[in-house]
Amino acid sequence: MKNPKIILLILLICVFSKEIIAQCPIIPAPSSYSQYKGKFLFSIFVETNFAQIPENLKKYFDKEMLQQFHTDLLEIESDKPILSFLKIESAIHKDYYEIDVKSNCIQISCTSDASCFYAINSFLQLIEKKGTETYVQNCKITDYPKFEWRGLHLDVSRHFFTVDEVKKYIDLMAFYKFNTFHWHLTDDQGWRIEIKKYPKLTDIGAWRDSTVNAHYTTNPRTYNTDIYGGFYTQEQVKEVVKYAESKYVNIVPEIEMPGHARAALAAYPEFSCTGIQQNVPGLWGVFDDIYCSKKETIDFNIDILSEVLELFPSKFIHVGGDEAPKDRWKKCNNCQKVILENNLNDEHELQSYFIKKIDAFLTSKGRKLIGWDEILEGGLSPNAAVMSWRGTQGGIEAVKQGHAVVMSPGSHCYFDHYQSKNSGEPIAFGGFTSLEKIYSFEPIPEDLSLQESKLILGAQANLWTEYIPNMKQLEYMTFPRALALSQVLWSVSKPSYKEFQETLIKKHLFILKQKDVNYSKAVFYPEMTISKTKKGIQYQFKSDLKEYQFIENNINQQDSNSKISFHKEIKVNLDRQKIPNGETAALVVPFYLGLELNPIYLNYKLHQLLGLPIKYITQPNERYSNNKELCLVDGILGKTPWNSSEWLGFDTTEINFEVNLLKETEIKNVYLSFLEDVSSWIHLPEKIIISTSTDQKKWDEFSFDVTKNKNSYQINKNATYIRYKIVSKMIIPLNFPGEGNIPWTFMDEIMINY
Ligand code: ACM
Ligand code: ZN
């Protein structure tokens, strides 16, 4: 016979916990969420017992409830408040909290002040408005963070952001449960923090007399010659630190050394190797002039850091360490003397020596040095932590050596990269970091053991501001991508990307709008695929999202009154045979987003090789082999600044492939185009050898030199097959970034008769 007690228990569970399967509206998603029937309805006043929480949280909660939901939290001390806070003394997980909403009462239980702040923000996201009703669905939440370093970075050197703008950035990050603000305060193009002992750092170093226009790879370069700059006084810094503390955000200041120091050297040229006075540059990039490694410079930096430590209570202090060319050190008597006196093997060990001195100072003050992964070169300081930006390899290496690591690889965490393939995107640094890619990020690399993985503190996104001149653009580049990263860093039970997308669209874009955030709408853009057809290629734009539909028959938007029919998909066929050669066309795919008509743009080229089969004898590098079969014959020319998806990248000195034209064709000329971006080690090749044949037995060969990006070579032959052999420089020449390494060759399209 069945146990009657169990039956009673099952009955009770059925009666009292009618759990509804529902998606949690909170981002980042809590570790558990159960929704029940019924809801808590807000009236204008909610009796609240705040006894267990600090004053700043009371104020914050009060203000948000009033501003967002016109609800007053009426403080009472009775035993039966409608909304109450409870302190839980212990929990397994740091910053654990619970929220329990029943139809007539709400209980928020916290283990720490920070957890209480997280709970309040979660609770604010639970509140819904329908018509005149404001309510929270009955539910139970338990939650805690996955990683302890949940960071966003901001470069205020390339472009300056005011105290109020920085506070807004902190507000937004805190609302989405980030807890670390990496404040990049110094760089070549501007020194942004007052240092009392060295006033020229801000008198001179905070101001530049020009700023490069357009992308810095544009040739020829032009400059805006307005004076540009700004800095924070120490009082302002203290104010921001205090403000961040009230939102449980720690500020990690970054003072760059020994590279990215041109602004400091403009003020104090005696700390460079040459001693020559130079300006604060208005150009972006990596400069040869860095701090000299002599004792005086190290003392200068220790003086600066001494003042910085007074302002920032952070355990971690970032000292940069990235992109420090060694050219000056090789030729500097002072630097060579330090190498000799300390038995160092080379300039990498000299950088390590420099950082070790700073590490010893910070350690003596009870702090911990963190630097970009270049600080591994020449040996890592004993107490240093590493921020891995050039992929995750540096991070893995540091962990293997027993050091703490923050992951911030360019592939997933650089928010200065493009976020969509829309040709209408505002200018960005280059690269492609979509919402979905960020969402897929896993900060702990697979090959680490459980023990090693504990050294991965977390991750952060970097907002380098060369192409982010103002707050609106900063918001556009940061949101909603930061929400995807917050899921990665907080959620121990991360929902699927599709669920995240839905929650984002249904709820959080409205929240962002209400907070006056200029977020990107890329999440609505249709997914584009390119496929081969019998006669050429097809572009397909597709979306499963319910919120918008494509409008068919409105391509090129020539006739805005044309009949509108709604589809979830548009297909555009481009045929090789029918089309005029070389014509450029702009494809505009209009689609609805709410009530706005938001077109996305795609520029393409019509030509005779579209969709033809290519046989690769040399394979492109895996990282830059997007849509390999069609990339060179898909009609889409690579843009500059480059977006990796449009280019095939090869890291070999010779590239060979063959195109089958399927029938004998008259070829007047062949066209090839290449990318040149020497700062990314991408060079033009030196030679091209074209061979043509009608039968793959007898070949005619033509050889050409490459002197520019876009090249059209006359051959005047009939052929069915074309072989391409592309020969690059053996190594990157002296005095170029990456000298001595094999250069990259990037190609976007091949055409004929163009
Ligand atoms: C970096 O992006 N140079 C750290
Ligand atoms: Zn020197």
pLDDT in tens, 700-724: 999 999 999 999 999 999 999 999 9
Tokens representing residue 147 in the block: 């990683």
| Amino acid 13: pLDDT | 43
Half-sphere exposure of 380 toward its Cβ, with a 13 Å CA cutoff? 24
Ligand 1 atom with minimal separation from the 464 CA: 2
- Ligand positioned closest to the Cα atom of 329: 2
Nearest to 183 by CA among 254, 112, 234: 254
The arithmetic mean of pLDDT across residues 550-561, rounded, is: 45
Would you place residue 14 in the very low, low, confident or very high pLDDT band (cuts 50, 70, 90)?
Answer: very low
359 C-alpha to center of ligand 1: Å?
20
98 is annotated as an active-site residue: no
First-to-final CA distance of the chain: 87
The residues near 559 (Cβ < 8 Å, ≥ 6 apart) are: none
619 C-alpha to center of ligand 1: Å?
29
In 521-647, beta strands by DSSP E? 527-532, 536-542, 550-551, 566-567, 569-575, 584-589, 592-593, 596-597, 600-605, 614-616
Query: Which of 252, 373, 389 is the pocket-test mutation for ligand 1 (most atoms within 8 Å of CB)?
Result: 389
Phi first, then psi: give them for residue 628, nearest 5 degrees. Answer: -50, -45
Would you place residue 333 in the very low, low, confident or very high pLDDT band (cuts 50, 70, 90)?
Answer: very high
Partner residues linked to 459 by β-bridges: 150, 407
C-alpha distance from residue 337 to each of 148, 285, 294, 330 (Å): 42, 29, 9, 11
| Amino acid 556: pLDDT | 42
The answer to whether residue 661 scores a pLDDT higher than 60 is: yes
311 C-alpha to center of ligand 2: Å?
30
| Amino acid 130: pLDDT | 87
Q: Which residues line ligand 1 (CB under 6 A)?
A: 322-323, 372, 389
The answer to whether residue 557 scores a pLDDT higher than 70 is: no
- Ligand positioned closest to the Cα atom of 265: 2
| Amino acid 639: pLDDT | 75
Q: Which of 187, 254, 289, 634 is catalytic?
A: 187
| Amino acid 8: pLDDT | 46
Ligand 1 atom with minimal separation from the 320 CA: 4
| Amino acid 547: pLDDT | 56
546 C-alpha to center of ligand 2: Å?
61
Would you place residue 18 in the very low, low, confident or very high pLDDT band (cuts 50, 70, 90)?
Answer: low
- Ligand positioned closest to the Cα atom of 260: 1
| Amino acid 597: pLDDT | 64
Low-confidence winner among 225-229, 504-508, 551-555, 712-716 (lowest mean pLDDT):
551-555
413 C-alpha to center of ligand 1: Å?
11
Mean pLDDT for all residues in the chain: 91
Report the relative pairing of strands 385-388 and 405-407 from DSSP bridges. parallel
Query: Which of 154, 372, 387 is the pocket-test mutation for ligand 1 (most atoms within 8 Å of CB)?
Result: 372
The arithmetic mean of pLDDT across residues 196-212, rounded, is: 98
Residue whose tokens read 């849509």: 627
Ligand 1 atom with minimal separation from the 414 CA: 2
Alpha helices in 86-130 (DSSP H): 113-126
Q: Say what percent of the chain tops pLDDT 90.
A: 74
At residue 299, what is the residue type? D
182 is annotated as an active-site residue: no
Nearest to 186 by CA among 254, 99, 87: 254
323 is annotated as an active-site residue: yes
Would you place residue 550 in the very low, low, confident or very high pLDDT band (cuts 50, 70, 90)?
Answer: low
Ligand 1 atom with minimal separation from the 372 CA: 4
pTM: 0.87
| Amino acid 578: pLDDT | 67
378 C-alpha to center of ligand 2: Å?
17
The arithmetic mean of pLDDT across residues 263-284, rounded, is: 97
Sign of CA dihedral 538, 544, 550, 556: negative
More confident residue, 366 or 420: 366
The arithmetic mean of pLDDT across residues 681-693, rounded, is: 95
CB 67 within 8 A of CB 514: no
Instruction: Please tell me the residue having the least CA distance from ligand 1 atom 3.
Output: 322
pLDDT tens profile 139-155: 999 999 999 999 999 99
| Amino acid 668: pLDDT | 93
pLDDT tens profile 298-323: 999 999 999 999 999 999 999 999 99
What is the spatial distance between Cα 123 and Cα 740, in angstroms, rounded to a whole number? 57
| Amino acid 10: pLDDT | 44
Nearest to 518 by CA among 558, 559, 449, 470: 470
| 331 three-class SS | helix
pLDDT tens profile 344-363: 999 999 999 999 999 999 99
Q: Which of 153, 159, 260, 508 is catalytic?
A: 260
pLDDT tens profile 371-427: 999 999 999 988 999 999 998 999 999 999 999 999 999 989 999 999 987 777 899
pLDDT tens profile 19-74: 777 889 999 999 999 999 999 998 888 999 988 899 999 999 999 999 999 999 99
Residue whose tokens read 């639970």: 126
